């Protein structure tokens, strides 16, 4: 059976639903406290997938994901690097995405774990919870999103504005098809403005992957759309099921 480690502790709070999502997709998905991983780093080898859930690790103090990311990198960089090199998967959602970005494993263009992009305060200046529509990049090779086209998903964050450190990095993300998903207008029109782009992200970027495609980070919460009734319009639209579940099914089936 495919095993996912749902990393938790120190203010991570969307861990239970991420566990549920992976279980619904057919994986075993224990919650593992970061301290337990630090004590036994080799435990990572038991898992095909490492998942970083949303939340407020360390209260978002000193910048979202920063303290958790620094701690993980300091103690567990090598085992995580081996995990990715062994062809296994990593996903970070919301605070998990912030953690991956701050510790430099995303986008990791030079394979040196140096931070190249960031997620900063929303243009609105406040935390917002709203549903957005995301389009997936068909050229992006990440197994997490293969075959996906568009999806409604909730965003819930105060620091989700995606910015890039330099033009070169921006170009590389595009050329290497590492932009995995982008905010869009429901009718496909442009430009995409607030609130369709909920935070002012560069190029409406909602999620990216690393050059291997196996590490994915995104601000929207697919684990919060695993039931049809999670959708705000489930009584108005013909919604069959929790569409966000697709991410986890794709992650799990990657190993089959």
Partner 1 sequence: MRCEIFYKNQFGDGRADHLLKGIQKDLGLPLKALKQVDVFLLEDHPELDQEAAAEIFLDQVAQEMLVDHCAGSSDLLPGWDFMIETAFRPGVTDQVALTAYDAVKNYLGLTLKANFHIQTASKYLVAADGLSAEQIEKLSSYLYNPLIQRAGTISRGEWEKGERFPSVYPYKVAASDVEVHKIDTSLLSQADLVNLSKKRLLALSLDEMKAVQNYFADPEVQAVRKKFGLGAEATDVELEMIAQTWSEHCKHKIFNATIEYENQESGETTTIKSIFKNYIKKTTDEVAKVRHFLRSVFHDNSGVIQFDDETCVCFKVETHNSPSALDPYGGAITGIVGVNRDIIGTGMGAKPIFNTNVLCFGDPNTPDSEIPKGILHPRQVMSGVHKGIIDGGNQSGIPVVGGAFLFDESYKGKPLVYCGTGGILPARIKGQNSWDKEIKPGDLAVMTGGRIGKDGIHGATFSSQALDEESPVSAVQIGDPITQKKMLDFLLEARDKGLYRAMTDNGAGGLSSSLGEMAEFSGGVKIELDKCPLKYQGLAPWEILVSESQERMSLAVAPENLPAFMALAEEREVEATVVGEFIDTGNVEILYEGKYVGLLSMKFLHDGLPEMKLKALWPKKVIPAVKIDDNRDLTQDLETLLADPTIASKEKLVRQYDHEVQAQSVIKPFAGEKMDAPSDGAVIRPKPGSYKGLTITHGVCQRYGDVDAYDMAACALDEAFRAHIALGGNPEEASALDNFCWPDPVEAPGNPDGAYKLAQLVRSCQGLMDTCVAYSVPLISGKDSMKNDAVLEGKKISVRPTLLVSLMGTLPDVRKAVNTDFKQAGDLIYILGETRGELGGTFYEKMLKNALGPCPKVDTKSALALYAKLYKAIQAGQVKSCHDLSDGGLAVALAESAMGGCLGVECSLDQVPGAGQMENSRALFCETPSRFIVSVSPGDQGNFEKTMAGSAFGILGKVTGNQGFVINRGNKEVLKSRTDNLSRIFKGVF
Q: How far is the CB of 38 from partner 1 (least distance, A)?
A: 10
Identify which of 218, 60, 238 has the alpha carbon closest to the alpha carbon of residue 144: 218
Of the candidate residues 230, 247, 248, 254, the single one contacting partner 1 (CB under 8 A): 230
Check if the beta carbon of residue 108 is closer than 8 Å to that of residue 211: yes
Residue 170 backbone phi and psi in degrees, to 5: -60, -45
Check if the beta carbon of residue 155 is closer than 8 Å to that of residue 124: no
Q: How far is the CB of 115 from partner 1 (least distance, A)?
A: 5
Q: Which of 94, 140, 157, 159 is catalytic?
A: 94
Torsion angle, alpha carbons of 64, 68, 73, 79, to 10: -120
Q: Would you count residue 227 as binding partner 1 (CB under 8 A)?
A: yes
Binders of partner 1 among residues 168 to 197 (CB under 8 A) are none
- Note if 94 is an active site residue: yes
Reported as type and span, the H/E element at residue 245 is helix 245-253
Contact pattern from residue 8 through residue 27 relative to partner 1, giving x for each residue in contact according to CB under 8 A and a dash for the rest: xxxxxxx-xx--x---x---
Of the candidate residues 26, 127, 176, 177, the single one contacting partner 1 (CB under 8 A): 127
Q: Would you count residue 56 as binding partner 1 (CB under 8 A)?
A: yes
Beta strands in the chain (DSSP E): 4-8, 31-33, 49-52, 89-93, 117-120, 128-136, 150-157, 161-164, 179-184, 205-209, 215-218
- The residues carrying an active-site annotation are 94, 221, 223
Residues engaged in binding partner 1 (CB under 8 A): 8-14, 16-17, 20, 24, 33, 35-36, 54-56, 58-63, 66-67, 70-71, 74, 102, 115-118, 120-131, 154, 156, 161, 163-165, 199-200, 221, 223-227, 229-230, 232-233, 235-236
């Amino acid at each position: 059976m495919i095993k996912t480690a749902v990393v938790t502790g120190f203010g991570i709070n969307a861990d239970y639903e991420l566990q549920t999502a992976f279980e619904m997709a057919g994986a075993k998905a224990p919650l593992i406290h970061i301290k337990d991983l630090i004590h036994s780093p080799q435990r990572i080898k038991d898992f095909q997938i490492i998942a970083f859930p949303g939340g407020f690790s360390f209260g978002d103090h000193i910048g979202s994901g920063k303290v958790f990311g620094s701690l993980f990198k300091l103690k567990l960089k090598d085992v995580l690097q081996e995990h990715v090199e062994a062809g296994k998967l990593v996903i970070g959602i919301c605070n998990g995405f912030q953690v991956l970005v701050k510790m430099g494993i995303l986008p990791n263009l030079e394979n040196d774990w140096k931070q190249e992009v960031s997620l900063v305060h929303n243009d609105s200046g406040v935390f917002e919870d709203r549903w957005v529509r995301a389009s997936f990049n068909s050229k992006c090779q990440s197994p997490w999103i293969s075959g996906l086209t568009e999806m409604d998903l909730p965003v819930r964050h105060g620091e989700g504005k995606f910015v890039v450190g330099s033009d070169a990095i921006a170009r590389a993300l595009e050329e290497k098809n590492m932009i995995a998903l982008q905010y869009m207008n429901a009718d496909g029109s442009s430009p995409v403005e607030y609130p369709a782009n909920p935070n002012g992200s560069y190029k409406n970027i909602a999620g990216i992957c690393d050059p291997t495609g196996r590490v994915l980070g995104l601000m929207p919460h697919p684990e919060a759309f695993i039931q049809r009734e999670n959708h705000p319009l489930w009584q108005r639209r013909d919604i069959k099921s929790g569409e966000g579940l697709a991410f986890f099914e794709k992650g799990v089936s990657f190993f089959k």
